[in-house]
Chains A and B, each alone.
Chain A
Amino acid sequence: MVLNNERYIEALKVGDRTILQQIYAEFSPAIIRLVMDSGGTRDDARDVFQSALVILFERVRDGALQIPSSFGDLLLSICRRVWRTRFKADTKSKAPVSPDDLSDDIEEDINSEEKNLLFRKHFKLLGAKCQMLLAFFFAGHTIDIICEQMGHQDIDHTLKRKDQCKEKLVLHIKNDPQFTVLAS
């Protein structure tokens, strides 16, 4: 069943699991073909697809999503661009270069999402307690609340743990070779 663009946009906005599943079912085979035909793996295809959906999610949330033709075409075009950007430095891959009708600022979104992906990757590599503490911290909760939520004895301990966890995260991100590539 092909849904109209509005249904897809609404699904991204509210995180409608059923329609998101339908998006995966409908469009993932094309992305798998695209990525695997040019030297990538199924995992690469999954990551590309997820990045494209996240970019669309942010655009929908910001009210900045314009769909020139169909949702499917837009999603596939963004996937192509993400794939091309991600494996630009990989000489083995032969990422396809084909014209599309994406706006110029999509490159900016893709680059930003690539960095975000790196942040998320290293965040997930932290211990569970560090992740929880930093999730509270980055979400803007006060140290008092974080101390209470984490079950710490005092605020000094929370501040110390926060510094340790954040330093570790920042160090890992900045030491990742991909970070240098994205920063350049």
Chain B
Amino acid sequence: MNQKDIQQQTEHYLRGEMTETERSNFLNAAQQNPALADELAFQQQLFRELGDTEKQQFVAQLASLSGAFFSAPTAASPVLRSISKFILPIVGAGILISILGWYVLTRQQQPASVESARPPDSNGVAMMDGPNVHRVDSTVAMHPMATTPALPDKTPSTAVERPAASTSTVPAADPVDFVPNAYWEGLAARKLVGSDRSIRANARLSGGKKLTLKINMEWPGGETPAPMVVSFYSNKDQDRTAATLLKQVTLELLSQVSDDPASNGKKSYSLEYSAGVNWKPGLYYYVISFEKDAQPILVGKLR
């Protein structure tokens, strides 16, 4: 066997893709071939480690926790320390004096126009104008500036734009977040309602920001579907077992759906739900169940 054959045979063995005879022959060969035995030991550990999704999730959790506890305490360099100790106060004082000087000059040059531009108010700002307009000795003099027409227009607009830019960041994809969850996959592959009824759903996640869910149901005509809930889970088994939901929505089905009589005595229902979310890239599951007993009637997935 060449190296390629050894690797392929080992893969087949580890993935359980060999017959009993093939397995036996492979193990016998490994006992007599040290290269094969080494490759088997290596790949066995590789498969065990990287295929252990529970462990990978635990490791990822530790990695996300550790930063706060092992990062170096923030100690400024000597240069930064001298900047913060001497230069910054000087620069700050210079800026303050410039602003105050500009303010005083502006008030001296156009006292009437500024006064006339300001609507009559009763919030106490006007009290600081007039005789005190030349005053430069107090920080109190800064407050009226915020109400003059020129400056306030700029300050709020930049303050609004920054958060909007930062919230649009979507976290990077992590393969661990795409690993299928065996439990939900099992339920997703099964029909969970009786043969006299059906439920289909389609969920989409656009850019991790917009969640859309469409549900179509056929239910026996004489039976009114009970209120339902849709619960959204991550792919993590620990979230499932701890019932940690990403989102839960109550479907007010009867008040929101069209109710078209079908020919075979069933009624059809449909519902479209959409909401804004902020989910990182990953595999997610939705579980539709009746509100009263929480038994899943449909499990689906979205990414």
Which residues between 46 and 62 of chain B lie within 8 Å of chain A, taking CB atoms? Answer: 46-47, 49-51, 53-59, 61-62
Closest residue of chain B to A15 (Cβ to Cβ) is B238
Residues of B within 8 A of A14 (CB): 238, 241-242
Which residues between 108 and 133 of chain A lie within 8 Å of chain B, taking CB atoms? Answer: 112, 115-116, 119-120, 123, 128, 131-132
Contact A112 to B45, CB < 8 A, known contacts A42-B70, A49-B70, A128-B175: yes
Number of interface residues of B (CB under 8 A): 35
The CA of A42 and the CA of B61, in the complex, are separated in Å by 19
Q: Is B45 touching A116 in the complex (CB atoms < 8 A)?
A: yes
Closest residue of chain A to B11 (Cβ to Cβ) is A166
Q: Is A15 touching B65 in the complex (CB atoms < 8 A)?
A: no
Q: Is A42 touching B45 in the complex (CB atoms < 8 A)?
A: no
Q: Is B176 touching A24 in the complex (CB atoms < 8 A)?
A: no
Q: Is B238 touching A135 in the complex (CB atoms < 8 A)?
A: no
Is B292 an interface residue when CB atoms closer than 8 A count as contact? no
Q: Is B61 touching A58 in the complex (CB atoms < 8 A)?
A: no
Is B69 an interface residue when CB atoms closer than 8 A count as contact? yes
Residues of A within 8 A of B300 (CB): none
The CA of A4 and the CA of B180, in the complex, are separated in Å by 34
Residues of B within 8 A of A115 (CB): 45, 49
Is B178 an interface residue when CB atoms closer than 8 A count as contact? yes
Contact with A along B179-216 (1 / 0, CB 8 A): 11000000000000000000000000000000000000
Q: Is B179 touching A28 in the complex (CB atoms < 8 A)?
A: no
Closest residue of chain B to A58 (Cβ to Cβ) is B55
Task: Decide if the interface of chain B is mainly helix, strand, loop or mixed.
Answer: helix
Residues of B within 8 A of A32 (CB): 70
Query: Which of A25, A128, A139 is within 8 Å of B51, CB to CB?
Result: A139
B127 shortest CB reach to chain A, Å: 52
Q: Is B69 touching A24 in the complex (CB atoms < 8 A)?
A: yes
Residues of A within 8 A of B16 (CB): 140
Number of interface residues of A (CB under 8 A): 41
B11 shortest CB reach to chain A, Å: 8
Query: Which of B63, B71, B178 is within 8 Å of A135, CB to CB?
Result: B178
The CA of A115 and the CA of B48, in the complex, are separated in Å by 12
Contact with B along A58-74 (1 / 0, CB 8 A): 10010000000000000
Number of A-B contacts (CB under 8 A): 93
Q: Is A123 touching B50 in the complex (CB atoms < 8 A)?
A: yes
Q: Is A42 touching B72 in the complex (CB atoms < 8 A)?
A: yes
Contact with B along A140-170 (1 / 0, CB 8 A): 1100010001000000000000000000011
Closest residue of chain B to A43 (Cβ to Cβ) is B70
Contact A57 to B175, CB < 8 A, known contacts A14-B242, A43-B70, A112-B45: no
Which residues between 219 and 256 of chain B lie within 8 Å of chain A, taking CB atoms? Answer: 238, 241-242
Q: Is B175 touching A50 in the complex (CB atoms < 8 A)?
A: no
A60 shortest CB reach to chain B, Å: 10
The CA of A136 and the CA of B173, in the complex, are separated in Å by 15
Is B66 an interface residue when CB atoms closer than 8 A count as contact? yes
Is A9 an interface residue when CB atoms closer than 8 A count as contact? no
A-B contact list, 10 entries, CB within 8 Å: A15-B57, A15-B58, A116-B49, A120-B50, A132-B173, A136-B179, A136-B180, A138-B46, A139-B53, A169-B46
Contact surface of B with A, Cβ cutoff 8 Å = 7, 15-16, 45-47, 49-51, 53-59, 61-63, 65-66, 68-72, 173, 175-176, 178-180, 238, 241-242
Contact surface of A with B, Cβ cutoff 8 Å = 14-15, 17, 20-21, 24-25, 28, 32, 42-43, 45-46, 49-50, 53-54, 57-58, 61, 112, 115-116, 119-120, 123, 128, 131-132, 134-136, 138-141, 145, 149, 169-170, 173
